Each structure stands twice: as structure tokens, then as C-alpha cells.
Structure 1
Amino acid sequence: MVALIALFEREGYARVEPPVLQPADVFIDLSGEDIRRRMFVTQDASGAELCLRPEYTIPVCLQHLSRRGARPSGYSYGGPVFRMRPNESGEFLQAGIESIGRSDIAGADAEILGLALEGLSLIGGPAPIVRLGDMGLLHALIDALGVAPAAKRRVIRAIVSGQGLASLSEAEGPAAQEHAGLLAAIEGQAPQAAKAFVEDILSIAGIATVGGRSAGEIAERFLARAANRTVLSNEARQVLERYLTISGDPDQAADAVRLLAKDAGLDLGPAIGLFEERTGFMAARELDVSAFSFAATFARNLDYYTGFIFEVQDPRRSDGKPIVGGGRYDRLLEHLGAESPIPAVGCSFWLDRIVGRP
């Protein structure tokens, strides 16, 4: 870890060490179900929930906002993190870097990946396997298809969870169509607000019970129905399914996405342009782009990633778990209290997997 931190500091990433105890609600709101289920949670004297630091990105971002605001900064870190992992220790060491506030998106992405690979070369080992993805391309495609925001969240969650589009519900038939207006009205609302809305509708209609069910129980059934509505047209589903088959090196992937956009009549020019610009910066850093593998289905299991994502694997490991992972999270700092979005990208090293590989 010492060699890694020294490399990062030489490159302008100042060493920081956020507190081990962190506010639990921040991770529960922003990190997704994967980390939420695996945190070690406790309470302070006032009853507020705290957690042992499950990762570094959110704590580093909170520290950045308290000290630097929107000013660009680079940070490095190294220390213990805590989360339950099947067949692995719940306390383990991570090191990494976060680049916050840089406007040269493609260049910053390439730098983070380049430093990740340079850091691994310091530690030693065989040529790593590099997997690339791009949540920005996926978001741009879904937006170009005109998918509604609530439906978009479901589509992305299905892809990130690895379940794919097959997990989304099919058409529900005439019964669903009869209540389509009400279902559309509550789709995407917060659960309590949606339930109150349905109860109000029933109250206005003078309905207290139906078939022995209370207004609250009826509202719950409507919420369940809204959650399972069909979210994609056949055309949108076909385009997304074709997109999810795209794989290859970055140049091959860009060509395939450009052809898909042309065939579907969609404008993905800015997203593809950023993708290709990033590849150019990688090549300029003398990274072997042709050896990298892009897959449209690849998504990291944290909700805050918004753009470029990557994982690095050690081919000697039998379990396929990454030894480095990272990506871009341009909306995270706004969720943490920034007045507007602040671009950011970073990566973490699983040091226990690098030192103690199976």
C-alpha cells in the first residue's frame, strides 16, 4: 500500500483518511441494495445510526465538500473498510484515488484507469484483464428511446442487478388497461405519497372496503400493480436487447453502438463522442486499448455510477473477483449537498485480493 500511495501522491492525489464511523443513512440512500445489506451498523448516544466505513468514495466526497466545495481536487487513501462478504473477511484494506471537479471528463477517466494499471504494475503480477462499461451510453440510449423516468430506473436496476430485461414484466392484459390512468398517476411517486393518493381517491368515491379489504390494503395492491407495469414498448425493448449484446474492444464497441443508433434513428452522438474521446486519451497514455474488453451488460453494483466504469481482474484468481474497480459518478456530490453536479471519477484496490489471491 505504501508504494501505491506514494505513486498517487506524486501524481497530485493528496492523502486523506476520513473517519471510520460514518452516517449510515448516506450509504443506505446512495449506495444501493448491495452495500446496504452488508454494512455493520451501530448507534450513537442519541440513537442516530452510524456504520463502519463500508467504502471510501462517499466519505472522501463528504470531506471534499466540507473543505473544498466545488474546487477541483485529487485524493488518495488507504486503510480498512468494513462490509460482510461471502467467504471473505468483513474487514479488509482498500487503497484508491478520487478525482473531483475536473471538467476534462475523458482525460480524467483515462488518467484514473492509467494510474490503476500503473499501480498494479508496482505490486507485480501477470498482465491484468481489463473490463470496461459505460453507464453514460446506457443512460443516453434509454433517454433517446423516450422511456419515462420511473421506467428508466427499473430498466437500469434490472441491468445492474444482472437480471436483464427478461426480469421486467410483460403486458398485464385488460385488467391493467382498465386502471391504466391511476397506475400511471402513482408510478414513480414515493410509496407513502402514492398510498395516500389512492386512499384519497377511494375516500372521494365513498369506498371504505372492497371484498373485505380496507382502503389501505387496496392502495397497497395498486402500488404493487404500479411497480410491475410494463415499462418498455416492443421497439424500445428490441433496441435495448441489441445494445446489450455489444462487446469487443473499445473501438469495436463504438462502431457497433454507432451502427445501432443509425439503424434505430437515434441521436447518440455526444455519448459516443465522449466514449471515443476517452479511448483516444487511453491510447495517448500508451495503454493497450485493443486488449481491453467492453461489454454493454457490464455494470458495477453501486447505484451512483453515471458514466465510464471498469474492473481489473487477476487471471490467476479462480473466483473472477476484481482486484481494482472504479468509474465516474457525476451526480453523487450533488446528492451529498453540493449546489450543482460536480464531475468525479475514481477507483479502489482490493488489497487483500491482490496479496492473498486464491
Structure 2
Amino acid sequence: MTGNGAAAPRPAAAHEALLALFEDRGYARVEPPVLQPVEPFLELSGEDIRRRIFITQDGAGAELCLRPEYTIPVGRHHRAVADGQAADYSYLGPVFRLRAAEPDEFHQAGIESIGRTDVPAADAEILGLALDGLDRLGRGEGQVRLGDMGLITALLDALNVQPAAKRRTLRAVAAGRSLDAVAAPVAVDAAHAGLLSAIQGQDPQGVRAFVEDVLAIAGISRVGGRTAGEIAERFLAKAAAHAEGGAGLGARAREVLDAYLALTGDPDAAASAARDLARRAGLDDPRLEAALALFEERNGFIAARGLPLERFVFTGSFARNLDYYTGFIFEVADGEGGESAAGIKPLVGGGRYDGLLQHLGSTYALPAVGCSFWLERLGGER
């Protein structure tokens, strides 16, 4: 299913060589079903993904979708065959989602490591395998950008930013938006206070279903360009802000966060600068100390693998979807010298997503980290 109706290209021999590399390193190949339940993708990737995935229904009316990526399907596979245990997986196959100026069916390859408790070593291994994979494909000179969702979250916790304001802040950073709107308190219309109090803390799926039912009864599919799911998300966000008295980011927190987001440079220098920022701001918080220690330890494992840490760039403002990623994140893009420029599409990217298995229903808090290769950007398909 490509945008012009042509058949999807088959993976080339180079792609099979990439998969062989992963399997040689102990990452067993899996192939989850192409049809997947849609709910996990909406819950973890945001309602916006509904506009970009291909949705159908089974005979009972349950919504299914063509898999838009592999990480959630691999997580579901792990739950079915090895829940509570550690395992490493690799994959290569087609995924399906609408993209601007790119095919809507394309091949991805990647690896997922689930259950390893040596977190900084596992992070370094995934990054190393990503670079080894690019080298195997003849693309070993990309620029490497690193970030850390765990560190920015710990910083906001140390600054005592309230949960709703923290969530708004992380969403703004991940989307590359200004923090001006987050810094201001949330205004809540008194006429809506009762409704917001009623839905505060409720199951997001239930709130979405309620909003969808109300709009369906009224014969409305969208309001102001927003879907029912997006409207429900806004209600939930306002309800959380209402419970906190509409608190915004705050001037001091904004100042410290702006300084953190401006950090850029090689990872060792960035770790030192982040520690200095915490000291100057008087942030003596064990959560922040743990995140900084993990950052430094990860740098040590990356260097110990023989990777050129001094050529990588850590960027404080590099962030991704907070419902998915919980720690170390990275991407490798074409180009020379320094940070990935805006608009440059990554060849490979990934990171840590420790909460995924529990989101998928597991009772085990298994850490996880992985990455995926955008094979059509690397060439070699026939």
C-alpha cells in the first residue's frame, strides 16, 4: 500500500545482512502480526497518530490498525511469550502510516532489549549496535544526537513543577513549541469547573468514549479541526490543571529549564554543565542526582565501547513523546559537524521506554530500550 498504489519494495540483501548482525549479537528475529489493536498506539503515541494510521474493524467491531511501527507490537509479543523475563528481539518488515512526501508503506528494521537491569550498559549497547548497523549498510559517518527524557523529567520534579504543568511542559518541549503558554497559569471557566472536577483522575479511555458518544449523538465528527479524542485530551489536561489551581510553570522553574534546554555539546561536557546548573539553582534532590549519575555512567559505557563520545552532541532540548520514552534517546542523521539540523530526517533513532510493558498490561516493571532503522532513507531496496 504505497501512496501511488505501487507494490512495496522488498528488502535488499544489505537489509538481511543488517538483520544477521542483530541475530549474531543475540537479538532473535520476530515478526508480530501486521494487524494490531489500535488502542495502545493512541494511548502511547497520542491521538494525533489516528490521522496517520490505517484503521479497520474486526467482526466484533473492535478497532484494529496496520502496524505503524514495531516497538509496541514487539512489546505485545514479549508479553505473550516471556512476560516478566528478559529477552532481546530484532525485526525487519513493512510498517504503514501516512507521511508527508514519503511512502505510506515502508520497511523498518530494529532491535528491542526488554528486561535488562544494567540500564546504562544496555543504552550504550543499543547505540553501539545502531552505529554498527549503519556501518554495515555503508552509512557510518552520520551525526549522532543524544538526549535524556529522564533527566528533564527529574529536573522538573526537583523544581516542584505540578503534574499538569509538568506534562504541558514536556509536551511543549517534545513538540519544539515555546514555553510561554506553559509558563502562564491555566484559566478555567467557572462554568466548566463542575465538569472538570468530575472527570479529573478518570480513565482517559472512558473520557474519550464519553466525548465521542456525545459528539456522535449530535452528529458532529470534529470541532474546530479537533477530533473527539483530541477534545477529550484537552478536557483531561484542563481537569488536571484545575485540580492544581491552574498552576503554570513559574518564573524560577522557567529560568532553570530555559538554561537546561540551551545546553548543547559533547556528552561529558553537557553532563558537567547540567551538574553545575543544578548546583547554581540549589537543586539538592535525589531524583535529579540519580538522573545525573545515570547520564555520567552511560557516557562511561559509551566510551568503553570505543565509540567517539567527543564527536556526539547532547542537546537539552532534544525530546520525544513523554508517554513513550522515559530516559536516554538518540538519533543518527546525515550531515557533518554538530547537532542535527531541523528538517534532517534521521536514519536511525531510538531510546529507553521503561513504562511500555506495564502500559500494555504487564504486572512486571521491565526496563526496555531499542531503536529502529528507516531503511528507505538508507537506500538499497529493490
TM-score class normalised by the smaller sequence: 0.7 to 0.9
Aligned 1:88-103 pairs, distance under 5 A: 88-103=102-117
Q: 1:356, 1:86 → 2: CA distance? A: 21
8 Å contact from structure 1 (residues 80, 92) kept in 2: yes
Structure 2 counterpart of 1:238, one-letter code? E
One-letter identity of the residue aligned with 1:271: A
SS for the counterpart of 1:349 is strand
The match for 2:335 is 315
Secondary structure (helix, strand or coil) at the match of 1:168 reads helix
* Deviation sequence 1:325-356 (CA, Å, 0-9, x none): 10000011111111132100000000001107
Q: How many residues align?
A: 329
Q: Is this contact kept in 2: 1:330–1:345, CA < 8 A?
A: yes
Spell out the pairing of 1:45-124 with structure 2 (5 A cutoff). 45-124=59-138
Give the alignment partner of residue 256 of structure 1, picking from 250, 267, 273: 273
Mean CA deviation greater in 342-351 or 221-230: 221-230
TM-score, normalised relative to structure 2 = 0.79
**2:364 corresponding residue in structure 1:** 340
1:274 partnered with 2:294:
yes
Q: Is the 8 A contact 2:23 2:29 kept in 1?
A: yes
Name the counterpart of 1:200.
none
SS in 2 for 1:37: helix
Specify the alignment match of 2:230 in structure 1.
none
Match of 2:177 in 1: 163
When residues 186 and 144 of structure 1 are mapped into structure 2, their CA distance, relative to the original with a 3 A threshold, is farther
Compare CA radii of gyration and give the structure with the larger one: 1
Distance 2:361 2:31 in 1: 20
- Cα distance, 1:225–1:149 mapped onto 2, change above 3 Å: closer
3-state SS of 2:146 partner: strand
Residue aligning to 2:257: 240
Question: Structure 2 CA distance, aligned partners of 1:238 and 1:169?
Answer: 10
C-alpha separation between the residues in 1 aligned to 2:237 and 2:81?
Answer: 44
* 2:305 aligned with 1:285: yes
**Residue 209 of structure 1: aligned partner:** none
Q: 1:153 aligns with which of 151, 161, 167?
A: 167
2:108–2:372: 8 Å Cα contact kept in structure 1?
yes
The equivalent residue for 2:376 is: 352
Letter in 2 for 1:253: A
User: Where does residue 134 of structure 1 map in the other structure?
Assistant: 148
Q: Label 1:341 to 1:313 Cα distance change in 2 as closer, same or farther (>3 A).
A: same
RMSD: 2.9
Task: Output the TM-score relative to the length of structure 1.
Answer: 0.84
Q: Secondary structure at the match of 1:163?
A: coil
Residue 42 of structure 1: how far off its partner (Å): 0.7
Matched, 1:327 2:344: no
8 Å CA contact retained: 2:333, 2:345: yes
2:298, 2:263 → 1: CA distance?
18
| Alpha-carbon shift at residue 183 of structure 1 (Å) | 10
In the alignment, structure 1 segments of 5+ residues that lack a partner are 197-220
Unpaired runs of 5+ in structure 2?
Answer: 1-14, 211-233
CA contact (8 A) 1:305 1:327 kept: yes
- Relative to structure 1, the CA distance from residue 55 to residue 222 in structure 2 (aligned partners, 3 Å threshold; closer, same or farther) is closer
Residue 165 of structure 1 deviates from its aligned partner by 1.1
Alignment identity in percent? Answer: 58
Task: Give deviations 1:48-103, integer Å, cap 9, x for gaps.
Answer: 11000000000000000111011110000000000000000000000000000000
Please identify, of 319-328 and 7-16, the stretch whose mean Cα deviation from structure 2 is larger: 319-328
| Range 37-46 or range 100-109, more displaced | 37-46
| Residues 150 and 188, structure 1, Cα contact 8 Å, conserved in 2 | no
Note if contact 1:133-1:299 (Cα within 8 Å) is conserved in structure 2.
Answer: yes
The answer to whether residue 201 in structure 2 is matched with residue 189 in structure 1 is: yes
13-22 vs 317-326, which moves further: 317-326
Q: Which moved more, 1:292-301 or 1:2-11?
A: 292-301
